Structure 1
Amino acid sequence: MRTNIHAIARSHVGPALEPVRAQRELRRQSAVARTLGSSFVGNILASAARQIGQAPRLCALIEAWPGDLAAAAVAMRLNAGLHALAQQGGMPDLTALYRNRAGNFDAAISSAFALCEGELITWMAHPTQTNEVGRAGALMAALMTLQQTRQLPVELLELGASAGLNLNLGHYRYELAGRTCGQIASPVCIAPEWRGAAAAVAPVEVASARGVDLHPLRLSDADTRERLMAFVWADQDCRAERLAAAIQLARLHVPALDEGRAAPWLEHQLASPQRDGTWRVVFHSMFMQYLGDDERRAVMTRILQAGARAQPDRPFAWIALEWRADRSAVELRLTEWSGSGEAAGRSRVLALCHPYGDWIAWQDQPFAGR
């Protein structure tokens, strides 16, 4: 999609299209944002739905977008582009709207669409890469649960790692169900609202951590840091502060991050020898929705094959924090292979989670075949 964005936008000539698809998706995501606690982003997207006709090429791009607009997070790409324009300060009305979180939404958004349509189209080429550090709370809870099966160091392999901030989950402090764990002195604190029974707490030793992304974000680049901050919803100061702290920490603990497609990278990593006495863990968060059907099947095939090869002294696990197929909830799922010959592994849903990690509803269902 990155290489086709401008071609699709340029292809529009003649009268403006009726923005049926664009308005429907922007209004849907506006309602979602309100449900998730961001009235400001809800207002931004609702205004964008009303004013999208001021940007005919942008509107045509969204109308012609291949595939599912929700799965591609098209509204969130546009939201981030508007946030970035406000941060840059070149449009005073838009900057004031974001600073005050109140004002004439339609006037500011209409002006941005009319004057900065090209910049916003460029933003649409960027997949949403929030690299949300808040999700590390759910991921760490899953790793601590894994330690209840066997307490071993973990080798982490992350798919869709973005800037690699969640590869640093071993460097963060956690407040989970009223208990403090992780690196107590860390400047990054993950403290989700906890619902349900408390998860087991256990030390997690990260022996190694490596990730891949099709377009990894390099935090040494100032524009990249600005882009990453723009994906944070503008009225969620705690998320922004936590992300800024995680970015700063990543300059001391630089994540091991590769560029490439998930399936071949995973095949290569899983072919490398696994140390005896370690868990090898593949994990991903809000990633599968961006894959095509073929690559999704290839990724899952490689994971299942690796699980089937697990040995008692080299167990394997898969942690997935992903939307359900109907997008009704985000599930935290843990699948383990202990090396006793179970081809499908033992799989269970540990929790339902807020998409950005604000809360975790722990349920820890019994194991079942995947």
Structure 2
Amino acid sequence: MQDKYQPIDINATGAEAARTAFGNQVAYCAKAGAPITARICAAVGQLLDRGEGGQLLDTVRGWTGAPLADALPLRLAGGLHALHLSGAEPALAAIYDDQPGADDVAIIAAAIHNHEAALLPWLDGPPQTNEAGRSANFIAAMPWLAEQGLPPRFECLEIGSSAGINLMLDRYHYDLGGVQVGPVPGAMAFRPDWQGNPPPDRAIKIASTKGCDVAPVDLTDPAQALRLKAYIWPEHTVRFERMAAAIAEAGRSPPDLVRMNAADFVEAQLARPQAPGTTRVLMHSIVWQYVPADQQARVTAAMEAAGARATPDRPLAWIALEANRTVHLHELVVRLWPDDGEPVMLARAHPHGASIDWRV
């Protein structure tokens, strides 16, 4: 199995694109400290290579979309992890306990064939990769926006909210290179490994949060919570602790989350009156690749049209933590209006919030 990325068009289709997507996922997981997930994806890749039969693997080979853009490897990895978490396939423990010498390919082949009907629906939708640690990026960007002269009172709109964990970002505490933000101790506390200068030490206020998802997850439903846990890479135990904290917090007061696609949501929210002295912010993390191209165009057009109407007392900002697939790193990028709306890269960051390399 490859140990580095192969150049591939993210929108490439076909059996070879599917195979390369699994290989790239192995390389990505190895780089991100996720050897167990790498083992899972490597085993599936070997099954594809040897022509293993069955409806599920045939579906993967014949994927009609773009396997990399659709995160096809992570869809299947989520289903397999759910089998392990539920105890439905005990043999998977050899891999998830990271035991050496296990026959990963045989174990995964058996799991797929034994539970094909249960695994097939996991291919139907994108991974729900909600991660509370990403909220540190959103919060770090807000004092920077205030430093540029935007009102430090923020109305936050999020697309691809999944379970709405990042919609509760005002309930968490953050240590951002020594700059303290949020309640103490907070429902969760984040202290990413910080590189570079700290963000501006400016007080901010979250006036409101509202988000959307095409398939929102109710954290108070144990079955839905299990699905969300299945998408957490098993190596990252702290993320399971955060998920438990988020479930408890949602039980106290659920996030404001609606079932809607990104474009419809952004257009509707931007059409609403904006309070004076408030910065309206669109934010999202590790979701843009899952938004269909036509919706990406509509969101961008709506934001730029609203930006043209923005005023110093009613400004608009766009905060995105997304993958730069040219350099294979994740970047925190902002746009703001009534400024020129040109993208500014504030940081490069770990996709799960472990580190932030501040660049401004």
TM-score norm. by structure 2 comes to 0.90
Q: Which aligned pairs between 1:45-124 and structure 2 lie closer than 5 A?
A: 45-52=41-48, 53-99=51-97, 101-102=99-100, 103-124=102-123
Please name the residue that 2:3 is paired with.
none
Q: Which amino acid aligns with 1:284?
A: H
Greater Cα offset, 296-305 or 313-322 = 313-322
1:207-286 maps to which residues of 2 (within 5 A)? Answer: 207-286=207-286
Unmatched tracts of structure 1, length 5 or more: 1-17, 365-370
What per-residue deviation string (whole Å, max 9, x for no partner) do you get for residues 72-109 of structure 1? 11111111111100011122211353245554322321
What amino acid does structure 2 have at the position aligned with 1:184?
V
Label 1:295 to 1:324 Cα distance change in 2 as closer, same or farther (>3 A): same
The secondary structure found in structure 1 opposite 2:80 is helix
Q: Is the 8 A contact 1:189 1:242 kept in 2?
A: no
Query: Conserved in 2, the CA contact under 8 Å of 1:263 and 1:298?
Result: yes
% identical aligned pairs? 36
Q: Which amino acid aligns with 1:79?
A: A
Letter of the structure 2 residue corresponding to residue 90 of structure 1:
A
Structure 2 residue identity aligned to 1:152: P
Structure 2 counterpart SS, 1:323: strand
CA contact (8 A) 1:54 1:114 kept: no
What corresponds to 2:7 in structure 1? none
Identify the residue that residue 318 of structure 2 maps to in structure 1: 318
Partner of 1:169: 169
Q: Which residue in 1 is equivalent to 2:351?
A: 355
- Residue by residue, what CA displacement relative to the aligned partner does 1:88-138 show, whole Å, maximum 9, x if unpaired? 112221135324555432232121012112211111113111111111111
More displaced, 142-151 or 282-291? 142-151
Deviations 1:206-230 (A, max 9, x none): 1111011111111221111000011
Q: 1:351 to 1:101 in 2, by over 3 A?
A: farther
Deviation at 1:20, TM superposition (A): 4.5
1:34 — aligned with what?
30
| CA 1:110–1:278: 2 relative to 1, 3 Å | same
- In structure 1, what is the equivalent of residue 328 of structure 2? 328
Letter aligned with residue 134 of structure 2:
R
Any idea what the Cα deviations from partners look like across 1:219-245, whole Å, max 9, x if unmatched? 221111000011000111011111221
1:139 corresponds in structure 2 to: 138
- CA pair 159-289 structure 1, distance change in 2 beyond 3 A: same
RMSD: 1.9
Deviation digits for residues 256-301 of structure 1, max 9, x if unmatched? 0111121122111111111111111111111211122211110100
Structure 2 Cα separation of the partners of residues 335 and 108 of structure 1? 47
1:264 aligned partner, one-letter code: D
Q: How many Å apart are 1:185 and its aligned residue?
A: 1.4
Is 1:288–2:288 an aligned residue pair?
yes
Q: Could you tell me how far apart the structure 2 residues matched to 1:125 and 1:220 are?
A: 23
Residue 196 (structure 1) aligned with residue 196 (structure 2): yes
Cα distance, 1:303 vs structure 2: 0.6
Q: Which moved more, 1:297-306 or 1:249-258?
A: 249-258
Aligned-partner SS, 2:208? strand
Question: Aligned with 2:24: secondary structure?
Answer: helix
- Structure 1 residues 21 and 269: CA distance shift in structure 2, 3 A: closer
Q: Is the 8 A contact 2:179 2:198 kept in 1?
A: no
Aligned to 2:274, what secondary structure does the other structure show? Answer: coil
| 8 A contact 1:22–1:59 mirrored in 2 | no
Q: Which has the larger displacement, 236-245 or 99-108?
A: 99-108
Structure 2: gaps (5+ residues): 1-13
Residue aligning to 1:11: none
Q: Equivalents in 2 of 1:301, 1:21: separation in Å? A: 31
The normalised TM-score by structure 1 is 0.87
* SS in structure 2 of the partner of residue 240 of structure 1: helix
- Are residues 314 and 179 of structure 1, via their aligned partners in 2, closer, same or farther at CA, if it must alter by over 3 Å? closer
